Amino acid sequence: MRLLILGAGATGGYYGGRLVKAGADVTFLVRPARAEALRRDGLRIESGKGDVATPVATVTRDAISAPYDAVLLSCKAYDLEAAIGAITPAVGSNTLILPLLNGMKHIDALDTAFGAERVLGGTCHISVTLTPDGVIRHFSPFDALTLGPRFPAQTGRCKELHGILASGGFEARYSDAIIRSMWEKWVLLATLAGMTCLMRGNIGEIVATKGGAQQINDFLDECCATANAAGAAPRDEAVTMTRGVLTDPSSTMSASMRRDLERGARIEADHILGDLLSRAAASGVPTPLLATAYRHTQIYQNRLPENT
């Protein structure tokens, strides 16, 4: 199975690099400058689970000559429109698209562009960044990637793709309830991003304040209620795990959205917080904390140079 990965940034580069090291047929769709850097330096990963330094195959958009069997998409939500244009030449009648974006809004856009029958469900739990010198740095022991079919007809080829991903040395999970898995990740991430951006602190710092842990739990309850109203109620064990992670007094965890906000970069607030808020409003679910957190990020977004 020929796999194309859009970009060789933090997330796609991490999973793709490990797959290349394991012998999978992987090509990275990159811009010319990144292609040249990868030719010169190879793809480099620094991780507690083992470093990787390997040459990789690359292609630029104008050089794609035939469809791929599967395309892995891990761009930022605000780059989705450009990403769809970039991968279009690589998508044929039998191509599977595996998106690893957060939330659910991207699914509608991909279905419209390529047909729902080609678009799998997917999510990941990983903390990585791309350093200025091109190294992919993995921060935590977690590197799970979950995929699954959205329709029964996708099951066979989705399992085939899972078999390839499972050879990569990271945690590859197959889910027959992938939409629920995606919502569980969204609920966790929206709470983490909303609270750490709003408070400008990590989880441990928030929990150390009077009422901090309770506010995190209240925020999580709003997100869970929204998922329930959408027919994607998180499993009890997933909610219990999330509460524990997000109220751990020793935790230094913070959302990547907060890191992006503090360095003046674009953020995925509309996709992670705004879309969840819209779904809550449509279902009549009260979400005062989610609304406050989204307004906070909107003020930041409105101050960015491209919006002033």
Annotated catalytic residue within 76, 105, 185, 210: 185
Structure tokens at 85: 């244009």
SS (H, E, C) 192-204: HHHHHHHHCCCHH
Q: Look-up: residue for tokens 């309770």?
A: 214
Q: How far apart are CA 78 and CA 84, in angstroms?
A: 12
Q: Are 157 and 96 in contact (CB under 8 A)?
A: yes
Question: Which residues are 26's β-sheet partners?
Answer: 3
Q: Rounded to an integer, what distance in angstroms lies between the CA atom of residue 306 and that of residue 40? A: 33
Tokens of 181: 């898995």
Kindly give, in sequence order, each residue whose CB lies less than 8 Å from that of residue 299, ignoring residues fewer than 6 positions away.
Answer: none
Where do the H-state alpha helices sit in the chain? Answer: 10-21, 32-41, 80-87, 105-114, 155-165, 178-199, 203-207, 212-229, 236-246, 256-262, 269, 275-283, 288-303
Note if 185 is an active site residue: yes
Residues in the chain: 308
CA dist 282 and 226 (Å) reads: 10
Active site residues: 185
